[in-house]
Amino acid sequence: MRVAVLQFSPTLGVVAPNLARILSAIDDAARAQADLLVAPEMSLTGWTLADSAQRAALVASVHTAALPALRRAAVSRQMGVLVGGPGHSGDVTDNASASSAANSVFALSADGSLAVYRKIHLFEDERAWWVPGDAALVADLGGVRVGVTICYDAEFPEVPRVTRLAGAEMLVVPTTNMTPYERDQDVVFATRAIENEIPVVVANRVGTENGWNYFGRSVVMDRSGRVVAQAGSEEELLIADIDLSAAGDPGLSYLSRRRPQIYSRLLSTIESDRRSRSLAQDHRSRGV
């Protein structure tokens, strides 16, 4: 699969200029014969949306203006398109409101179908802005099962693993990674590729926004965590070919050697584990 990764600096609080930039990139990606274009997290509006009325208005604009235009472009160019922006927390026909909005990625296929991923783990202030999602997403884009997650989500190993087990053949991660998390981006996403034996595409943004500095360095990695292509720190359209048929390291084979029957503690909360340990220690101290 040939992937185009759009790295740019979205204009905060409006949809039109960001949509125009993404539509232009879709045209450029089509000329490069890409099968999929990926834009960053919240690339339709910018990330720092603290005002509730503004969030509601932007959700409405995304659903009434941006998504129809992106759908037409995906069909016209026969390309999968993954774009981040604010969306409804439930069905796309819900009425827009600040209390029912989610940090979302919209996955549009060449046949015009739409799937939506909603960010499960919210970072810092966005916990007050968005309703968290509750499900993984694997979308069929051009005959490839593409797993979608968003930025901070992928720093929790459970989300990429659940997505991989749901049948994802590659993992796409739109992000808004900012300084000082450069090393985290390098380490975390390479690890996700290795442990899940899956190519990973990271689409990060650049520029500054309300005191945050975004460093870019969008990257495409193979299933062994090796860099296939990487952007710099400025705006660009990164083009890379991903070999989905390449075999993983047979000496590792993490997925085939899993032992899920002993992983039950992954379902426990830290607090319940703490109470269990405290009770066990109390029993031992009493000679129980």
pLDDT tens readout for residues 231-283: 999 999 999 999 998 888 888 889 999 999 998 888 876 655 566 555 445 54
Sequence-distant (≥ 6) Cβ neighbours of residue 130 within 8 angstroms: 86, 89, 101, 102, 103, 119, 122
Which pLDDT score, from 0 to 100, does residue 266 have? 81
Q: Which of 126, 151, 155, 169 is catalytic?
A: 151
Compute CA 281 distance to the chain's CA centroid, rounded to the nearest angstrom: 42
Please state, in angstroms and as integers, the Cα–Cα distance from residue 133 to each residue in 89, 122, 140, following that order.
7, 9, 20
Dist CA 126 CA 131 (whole Å): 9
How many angstroms separate the CA atoms of 19 and 43, rounded?
Answer: 8
In this structure, what DSSP letter does residue 234 have?
A: S
Per the residue annotation, which of 41, 126, 169, 197 is the catalytic one? 41
Beta carbons within 8 Å of 55's beta carbon, 6+ residues apart: 49, 86, 98, 101, 129
Q: Is the pLDDT of residue 287 over 60?
A: no
For residue 176, give Cα distances in angstroms to 85, 91, 181, 221. Answer: 12, 25, 10, 18
Name the CATH code of domain 2-251 (choices 3.40.50.10490, 3.30.530.20, 3.60.110.10, 3.40.109.10).
3.60.110.10
How many degrees, rounded to 5, is the angle at CA 17 between CA 88 and CA 212? 75
Q: Please state the rounded mean pLDDT for residues 70-87.
A: 98
Burial grade of 15 (CB within 10 A; 0-12, 13-18, 19 or more) = buried
d(CA 224, CA 196) in angstroms, rounded, equals 9
Contact in structure between 217 and 40 (CB atoms under 8 Å) = no
pTM of the full predicted structure?
0.90
Mean pLDDT, rounded, of the chain:
91
Q: Is residue 119 flagged as an active site residue?
A: yes
The angle subtended at Cα 128 by Cα 8 and Cα 66, nearest 5°, is: 40
Nearest CA among 38, 54, 220 for reference residue 141: 38
Can the peptide bond before residue 180 be classed as cis, meaning omega within 30 degrees of 0? yes
Percent of the chain with pLDDT over 90: 82
- The Cα diameter of the chain in Å comes to 74
pLDDT digits (tens, 9 = 90+) for 161-211: 999 999 999 999 999 999 999 999 999 999 999 999 999 999 999 999 999
- Measured CA to CA in angstroms, residue 137 lies from 91, 109, 155, 163, 213 at distances of 15, 14, 16, 7, 29
Location of structure tokens 């069909």: 75
| Sign of the CA dihedral running 100, 102, 107, 108 | positive
